[in-house]
């Protein structure tokens, strides 16, 4: 909370290349779950941009394949706002591996509904407040980071 009003948490969502043709359908689900889409852009990542975005995974066995996948077609990046948005969005997308998601959350998980396997899993979600801030800035460098004031401007006495 801030003196300016209620802080509504924000997170970064990506529709990944394997689900790019389902981006509108996925956005409809996002809105149905009470998120607000504050920002949206469609972009084809370069290998350099993707390596930077997923730098926490640099050196892992799946990294080269992840970069090839994520640069194979456009992604849709969105800033989502909602109370507890980071955890709420991670809950809605489900487990990383879409095959696991299909076992555990067959009807509700976006990764179960639109993904294929441990790599082609349809969507991304920031995993912490620090990641969310970094990832929002990555795609939307001009995005306002302060809480949005609600009500009349504060008066100083």
Looking only at residues 74 through 93 of this chain, which bind ligand RTP when binding is defined by CB under 6 A? none
Order of strands across the sheet that contains 10-15: 36-43, 75-81, 10-15, 123-125
Binders in 73-132 for Mg ion, by CB under 5 A: 127
What tokens were used for 129?
A: 């407040």
Separation between Cα atoms, residue 71 and residue 42, nearest integer Å: 12
Helix (H, G, I), strand (E, B) or coil at 101: helix
Choose from Mg ion, ligand RTP, none: what does 96 bind? Cβ within 5-8 Å by kind.
ligand RTP
105 flagged as catalytic: no
Among 42, 46, 62, 64, binds ligand RTP (CB under 6 A): 62
CB of 127 to ligand RTP, least distance (A): 5
Q: What does 7 bind: Mg ion, ligand RTP, none (CB cut-off 5 to 8 Å by kind)?
A: none
CB of 60 to ligand RTP, least distance (A): 8
| By CB under 6 A, residue 121 contacts ligand RTP | yes
106: exposed, middle or buried (C-beta count within 10 Å: 0-12, 13-18, 19+)?
exposed
Please give the backbone phi and psi of residue 80, each rounded to the nearest 5 degrees, phi first.
-105, 140
């Amino acid at each position: 909370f801030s003196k300016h009003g209620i802080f509504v948490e924000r997170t970064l969502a990506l529709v990944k290349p394997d689900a790019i043709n389902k981006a509108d359908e996925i956005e409809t689900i996002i809105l149905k779950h009470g998120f607000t889409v504050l920002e949206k852009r469609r972009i084809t990542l370069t290998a350099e941009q993707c390596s930077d975005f997923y730098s926490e995974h640099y050196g892992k066995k799946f990294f080269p394949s992840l970069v090839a996948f994520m640069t194979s077609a456009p992604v849709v990046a969105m800033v989502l706002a909602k109370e507890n948005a980071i955890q709420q969005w991670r809950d809605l997308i489900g487990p990383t591996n879409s095959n696991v998601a299909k076992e555990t959350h067959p009807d509700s998980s976006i990764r179960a509904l639109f993904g294929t396997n441990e790599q082609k899993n349809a969507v991304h979600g920031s995993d912490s407040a620090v990641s969310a801030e970094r990832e929002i800035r990555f795609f939307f460098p001009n995005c306002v980071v302060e809480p949005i004031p609600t009500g009349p401007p504060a008066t100083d006495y």
